[in-house]
Amino acid sequence: MHVKTITTTPFSDQKPGTSGLRKAVSVFQQAHYLENFVLAVFDTLGNVSGKTLVIGGDGRYYNREAIQIIIKMAVAAGFGRLLVGKGGLLSTPAVSCVIRKHRAFGGLVLSASHNPGGPDGDFGIKYNIQNGGPAPEKVTEAIFQRSKALAKYRIAETPDVDLDRLGKSEAGSTAIEIIDPVADYADLMESLFDFAAIRKHIAAGFRVKFDAMHAITGPYAREILVNRLSAPQDCLLNATPLPDFGGGHPDPNLVHAKELVDMMFRADGPDFGAASDGDGDRNMIVGKQMFVTPSDSLAMIAANSTCAPGYSKGIRGIARSMPTSQAADVVAKKLGVPCFETPTGWKFFGNLMDADKVTLCGEESFGTGSDHVREKDGLWAVLFWLNILAVRRQSVADIVRGHWREYGRHYYTRHDYEEVEAEKATALINQLRSSLASLTGRRYGRFRIVLSDDFSYKDSVDGSESHQQGIRVIFEDSSRIVYRLSGTGTKGATLRVYLERFEADNSRHDQPTQAALKELIDIADDIAGIRRHTGRDQPDVIT
């Protein structure tokens, strides 16, 4: 086998964000762009000779081309074995599962997750380490530094691998295995949840709808919900992965999964609805006429975790990202387990799970997961809810309302201002930062600020520190406003404003969310001058 050496020059913009490197497809299609980043990853890993690498993506436009390039570079780098999902497909949680099960050295995931796809959409790549989780910041930073100093890369001159046929082949000293992308993952799910109980519940007439949003989870949902749990075929919506996700945003929320949400709010709607994102790590849970916020979902899964056989012994702890509501904290307190607060992004949960400090993790951005893998996991959350519902035999709405009665309700919303000019967004954040000191003690109507800071995190396991992870303003009654700029967007800047208010009084648990948070929404603008800086009257997306 011949290996070609190709001269290249560095790109200056290959710094991974919240979750890998994300750029417009056209950026990735530039000569050497993908190759440079892949080489920066391989160089950062050191000696990869004989090691196993998992490769797969969410099926978006450019997935197949990228995988052929990565295979040839991995062969040239001397990897011993490549495990590639059939069709180039593997969901993010499935990559994590396969890395762990097959004791791989790491994996490359081709995805821009919830960002739109197609020739005019986004592409992305991220590296996952040996524990199956996203590379921590010290690794992504090393990759970025390396990307700025590349002069040449090596690529094997081998024919393209047939991605659509299961089986083994060889190139140089590398064994290339095309694997079933679903089997290992589906087996893991079956080992955690009471499939017999869920099957019985569905057979008894419990109606489920799952929207795969034309992204990666279609084949997974078909195997698990239809084949293994005997749900009717028509429980699946948009179940065929398409390179452009059918033109939509594969982001499971009230705005982008509207078709499903509308269905769930009809009087004759199904009992349970769920959706997942581009790469299968996010989940949205909706009951009949009841949307479950992701923050509440984490708390409710925690409170009911012993319903699932894989968690019957209870949980060791919970971790949530800082902007996620404090609903989980209240449950953790009652259970007598610790609750950790980390910066946004799943990479911060890995150490806590490896050190056995937490079992469940969650983010407000429709991400929930546990230590069964080291990624957030969309279908896992769906199955956890189905398991709870099959055991408790109540409606989603009854479980949610019962939870609020017991623990109080954390009203929660996120307002996103998308594609704001970068300078304007930076000016807003800078001004906020400089006003932090003067904010504490200030009163806005019935709300008094008791703490305002720029969130810093020190990892309790390896001592690493992350600064400037979001500006938080905390009020006397534990209400919060958090401001941060997205690290996954590819156009301009996205300002995220997170709002939360706790309501203990059961007679006030049925207000519409935006109305319940109206005062805080106004205060958020007062404090940060959102309209003044961005020129926007209202957010683009409210979740």
Residues 7-26 interacting with ligand VG1 (rule: CB under 6 A): 18-19
- Separation between Cα atoms, residue 43 and residue 155, nearest integer Å: 14
Q: Which is nearer to ligand VG1, 14 or 91 (CB)?
A: 91
**Which distant-in-sequence residues (6+ apart) come within 8 Å of 424 by Cβ?**
493, 533, 534, 535
**Residue 469 touching Co ion (CB under 5 A):** no
Segment contacting Co ion by CB under 5 A, of 110-118, 162-170, 181-189, 463-471: 110-118
- Separation between Cα atoms, residue 274 and residue 284, nearest integer Å: 5
Tokens of 402: 């019962």
Q: Which is nearer to ligand VG1, 19 or 131 (CB)?
A: 19
Segment contacting Co ion by CB under 5 A, of 66-74, 246-254, 265-273, 278-286: 278-286
- Separation between Cα atoms, residue 428 and residue 432, nearest integer Å: 6
**Residue 364 touching Co ion (CB under 5 A):** no
Q: Which is nearer to ligand VG1, 19 or 44 (CB)?
A: 19
**Residue 496 touching ligand VG1 (CB under 6 A):** yes
Helix, strand, or coil (residue 334): helix
Distances (CA, A) of 379 to 2, 279, 281, 367: 42, 11, 8, 11
- Separation between Cα atoms, residue 263 and residue 156, nearest integer Å: 50
In the bound state, the residue with its beta carbon closest to ligand VG1 is 113
Q: Please say whether the dihedral angle defined by the alpha carbons of residues 127, 131, 132 and 133, taken in this order, is positive or negative.
A: negative
In the bound state, the residue with its beta carbon closest to Co ion is 113
Q: Given the structure tokens 């099957």, which residue do they identify?
A: 199
Q: In angstroms, give the least distance from the CB of 225 to ligand VG1.
A: 21
* Residue choice 64, 282, 409, 501 for contact with ligand VG1 (CB under 6 A): 282
Q: In angstroms, give the least distance from the CB of 221 to ligand VG1.
A: 17
Site string for Co ion, 49-78 (x = CB under 5 A): ------------------------------
* CA-angle at 525, arms to 543 and 254, nearest 5°: 10
Helix, strand, or coil (residue 28): helix
Q: In angstroms, give the least distance from the CB of 426 to ligand VG1.
A: 15
Segment contacting ligand VG1 by CB under 6 A, of 7-15, 143-151, 274-282, 307-315: 274-282
Q: Which of 91, 96, 113, 486 is the catalytic position?
A: 113
Residues 111-140 interacting with Co ion (rule: CB under 5 A): 113
Q: Given the structure tokens 């009854």, which residue do they identify?
A: 398
Cα within 13 Å of Cα(169), Cβ side: 14
Q: In angstroms, give the least distance from the CB of 527 to Co ion.
A: 30
Number of residues that bind Co ion (CB under 5 A): 5
List % helix, strand, coil for the chain (3-state, nearest 5): 35, 25, 40
Q: Which is nearer to Co ion, 122 or 194 (CB)?
A: 122
Q: In angstroms, give the least distance from the CB of 110 to Co ion.
A: 12
Q: Given the structure tokens 């509207």, which residue do they identify?
A: 258
Q: In angstroms, give the least distance from the CB of 491 to ligand VG1.
A: 12
**Residue 281 touching Co ion (CB under 5 A):** yes
CA nearest 384: which of 227, 208, 194, 253?
194
Q: In angstroms, give the least distance from the CB of 282 to Co ion.
A: 5
**Which distant-in-sequence residues (6+ apart) come within 8 Å of 101 by Cβ?**
184, 188
Q: What are all long-range contacts of 470-475, with beta carbons under 8 Å and residues at least 24 apart? A: 470/322, 470/323, 470/343, 470/344, 471/429, 471/432, 471/433, 471/436, 472/322, 473/439, 473/449, 473/527, 474/449, 474/450, 475/447, 475/448, 475/449, 475/450
**Residue 295 touching ligand VG1 (CB under 6 A):** no
Beta bridge partners of 541: 416
**Which distant-in-sequence residues (6+ apart) come within 8 Å of 425 by Cβ?**
417, 485, 492, 493, 494, 495, 533, 534
Segment contacting Co ion by CB under 5 A, of 9-17, 63-71, 106-114, 421-429: 106-114
Q: In angstroms, give the least distance from the CB of 126 to ligand VG1.
A: 8
- The 3-class SS string of 143-181 reads HHHHHCCCCEEEEECCCCCCCCCCEEEEECCEEEEEECC
Q: Which is nearer to ligand VG1, 206 or 384 (CB)?
A: 384
Residues 327-346 interacting with ligand VG1 (rule: CB under 6 A): 344-346
Q: In angstroms, give the least distance from the CB of 369 to ligand VG1.
A: 11
Segment contacting Co ion by CB under 5 A, of 105-113, 156-164, 205-213, 517-525: 105-113
Q: Which is nearer to ligand VG1, 93 or 270 (CB)?
A: 93
* Residue choice 122, 211, 277, 500 for contact with Co ion (CB under 5 A): 277
Residues 92-151 interacting with ligand VG1 (rule: CB under 6 A): 113-114
- Separation between Cα atoms, residue 180 and residue 225, nearest integer Å: 17
Q: Binding residues for Co ion, per CB under 5 A?
A: 113, 277, 279, 281-282
Query: Which sequence positions are flagged as catalytic?
Result: 113
Q: Binding residues for ligand VG1, per CB under 6 A?
A: 18-19, 113-114, 277, 281-282, 321, 344-346, 363, 365, 367, 486-489, 496
